[in-house]
């Protein structure tokens, strides 16, 4: 009989915090600078340099901890994790082992309508490493320390997940929570959110966990799902062959859709953690905690419920709108400019999402302003432009954030409400299309649609459709 296996998954998620400066020095965290232009003696590990903690890192870590139901360690410290690697100039990473800033949290996820809590073991603060670029001309590695010292939090879950769907729901929950906090943009493809998957399998009903492996280099939700499926199969094959799973770190290659072991067994994994003597303890007072608690924003679930209740949006719409912070922001800002919530939702749900899909972009990267969307809605409300023109203008707003008032004026896109001009055009259309006129008169209601279309074409789309219909019927 075939054995049934259960997959047990825990995640280590690194998130780059959106601070202006690095965790221990006043260097910029800005992305994309020329190599080593955002470095100083501290973040390149020069002897004699001393780290000073960025208070905003602590604020953001506490905010994420509170949002994920953690207990905040009110007396916490930094430790040194010792290892040699060229991207780590100090030969140790400043991290937290003994007193991580947050512990014992949980977040609720939903998969196929079923709700489940995923435990968070701890969240700790640490610094990012530099970046190694392989130089094919000299067959050497080039080190850029611009990312060295960028603040990270590492969120360590309990081994509570059982499927790729649960993993993705958990990651999405973390991402939305952290984005709403403004603590990070959490982009997997750009590395501001990184997930390492710890996976083991065991026979269904077994109490003990199996030997786990850790999978790295997962840069998209799709890669994570594929890697989990692949690793589950690999481990089952090993067990079925009567062999043992080796505890190791594996690197996922998404192009080849397979993983390989990263470090050899001879490589000692002994980090010899000890308290960092350069950094004094952090004592977080009750007042400090309360201050951050009071500033927590409205999170996705609350927002979603409010959109349904306050604006009467369907659950599906509320889900999409709150599923990207950027969309929720534009939605609320546009409403604040007196636009009708249902109309704003409609523009975001239909046209915006259509273009986002067409361009294969992330809704987070939308750049148009609420001001111009509100203006566009006013133009349609007052029937100054018809819906066809409005869609055209919206594409311009989406791409270049143009001012629709000016654009419509300059391009002469206003709907022609001048009855005389319309009547002349329609008379011409009737004269040019005797067959359709005949059909209509013989009871083919649909024929009028063709005539409306011809009229709109002749008017370059600017006619008021209601008026066109009315005049056509009258003349026929």
Partner 1 sequence: MQITDEIIDYVGILAKLELSDEEKEQAKKDMTNMLDYVGKLNELDTDGVEPMSHTFSVHNVFREDVVVNGDDRENMLANAPEKKDGAYKVPRTFD
Nearest to 127 by CA among 207, 189, 39, 240: 39
Q: Is 261 in the site for partner 1 (CB under 8 A)?
A: no
List the one residue from 17, 25, 109, 197 that touches Zn ion (CB under 5 A): 25
Q: Give the closest residue to 60 by CA, choosing from 13, 139, 124, 146.
A: 124
- Residue 95 C-beta: closest distance to partner 1, Å: 14
| C-beta closer to partner 1: residue 35 or 159 | 35
> Smallest gap, in angstroms, from Cβ of residue 330 to partner 1?
27
CB closer to partner 1, 62 vs 373: 62
Q: Which does 132 bind (CB under 5 to 8 A by kind): Zn ion, partner 1, none?
A: partner 1
- Distant-in-sequence, close-in-space partners of 101: CB < 8 Å, separation ≥ 6: 58, 61, 62, 65, 72, 73, 76, 123, 124, 125, 282
Query: How far from 445 is each of 63, 427, 448, 465, CA to CA, in Å?
Result: 63, 19, 6, 17
3-state secondary structure of 39: coil
Among 277, 412, 420, 443, binds partner 1 (CB under 8 A): 277
- Tell me which residues in 136-195 interact with partner 1 (CB under 8 A): 138-145
Which residues ranging from 384 to 413 are in contact with partner 1 (CB under 8 A)?
none
Rg (CA), the chain: 29
Binding part of the chain for Zn ion, among 25-33, 55-63, 88-96, 261-269 by CB under 5 A, reads 25-33
Run of H or E including 104: strand 102-111
The residues, any chain, with a CB within 8 Å of residue 213's CB and separated by 6 or more, are 198, 199, 200, 231, 235, 245, 246, 247, 248, 249, 250
Among 43, 66, 328, 397, binds Zn ion (CB under 5 A): 43
Q: What is each CA distance from 11 to 100, 122, 156, 162, in whole angstroms?
A: 17, 11, 6, 11
Site for partner 1 in 19-78 (CB under 8 A): 19-21, 25-28, 33-41, 44, 46, 52-56, 58, 77
Binding mask 74-93 for partner 1 (x = CB under 8 A): ---x----x-xxx-------
Assess 27 for contact with Zn ion (CB under 5 A): yes
* By CB under 8 A, residue 134 contacts partner 1: yes
Name residues contacting partner 1, limited to 280-339 (CB under 8 A).
280-283
Report the distance separating Cα 187 and Cα 169, nearest Å: 15
For partner 1 (CB under 8 A), the number of binding residues is: 53
369, containing H or E segment: none
Among 2, 112, 270, 474, binds partner 1 (CB under 8 A): 270
- Interaction site with Zn ion (CB under 5 A): 25, 27, 40, 42-43
Q: Which residues of the shown chain bind partner 1 in the complex (CB under 8 A)?
A: 19-21, 25-28, 33-41, 44, 46, 52-56, 58, 77, 82, 84-86, 132-135, 138-145, 251, 262, 268, 270, 272, 275, 277, 279-283
């Amino acid at each position: 009989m075939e054995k049934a296996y259960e997959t047990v998954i825990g995640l280590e998620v690194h998130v780059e915090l959106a601070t202006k400066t690095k965790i221990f020095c006043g260097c910029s965290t800005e992305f994309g600078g020329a190599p080593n232009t955002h470095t100083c003696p501290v973040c390149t590990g020069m002897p004699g340099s001393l780290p000073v903690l960025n208070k905003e890192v602590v604020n953001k870590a506490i905010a994420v901890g509170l949002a994920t139901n953690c207990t905040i360690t009110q007396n916490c410290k930094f430790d040194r994790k010792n290892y040699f690697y060229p991207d780590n100039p100090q030969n140790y990473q400043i991290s937290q082992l003994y007193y991580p800033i947050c512990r014992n949290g949980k977040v609720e996820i939903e998969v196929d309508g079923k709700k489940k809590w995923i435990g968070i073991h701890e969240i700790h603060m640490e610094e990012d490493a530099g970046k190694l670029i392989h130089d094919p001309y000299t067959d050497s590695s080039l080190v850029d320390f611009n990312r060295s010292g960028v603040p990270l939090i590492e969120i360590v879950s309990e081994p509570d997940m059982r499927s790729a769907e649960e993993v993705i729901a958990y990651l999405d929950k973390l991402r939305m929570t952290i984005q709403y906090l403004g603590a990070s943009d959490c982009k997997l493809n750009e590395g501001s959110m990184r997930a390492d998957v710890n996976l083991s399998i065991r026979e269904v009903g077994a109490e003990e966990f199996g030997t786990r492996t850790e999978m790295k280099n997962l840069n998209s939700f799709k890669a994570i799902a594929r890697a989990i499926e692949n690793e589950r199969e690999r481990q089952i094959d090993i067990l079925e062959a009567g062999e043992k799973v080796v505890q190791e770190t594996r690197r996922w290659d998404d192009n080849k859709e397979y993983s390989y072991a990263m470090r050899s067994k001879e490589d000692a994994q002994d980090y010899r953690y000890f308290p960092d003597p350069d950094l004094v303890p952090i004592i977080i007072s009750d007042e400090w905690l309360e201050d951050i608690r009071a500033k927590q924003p409205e999170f996705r679930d609350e927002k979603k419920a409010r959109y349904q209740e306050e604006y009467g949006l369907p659950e599906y719409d509320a889900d999409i709108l709150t599923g990207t912070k950027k969309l929720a922001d534009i939605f609320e800002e546009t409403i604040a400019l007196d636009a009708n919530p249902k109309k704003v939702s409609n523009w975001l749900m239909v046209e915006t999402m259509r273009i986002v899909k067409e361009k294969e972009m992330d809704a987070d990267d939308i750049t148009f302003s609420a001001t111009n969307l509100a203006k566009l809605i006013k133009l349609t409300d007052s029937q100054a432009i018809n819906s066809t023109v409005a869609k055209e203008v919206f594409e311009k707003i989406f791409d270049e954030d143009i001012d629709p008032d000016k654009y419509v004026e300059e391009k002469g896109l206003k709907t022609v409400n001048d009855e005389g001009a319309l009547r002349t055009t329609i008379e011409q259309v009737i004269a040019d299309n005797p067959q359709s006129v005949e059909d209509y008169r013989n009871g083919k209601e649909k024929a009028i649609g063709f005539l409306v279309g011809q009229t709109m074409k002749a008017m370059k789309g600017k006619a008021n459709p209601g008026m066109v219909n009315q005049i056509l019927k009258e003349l026929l």
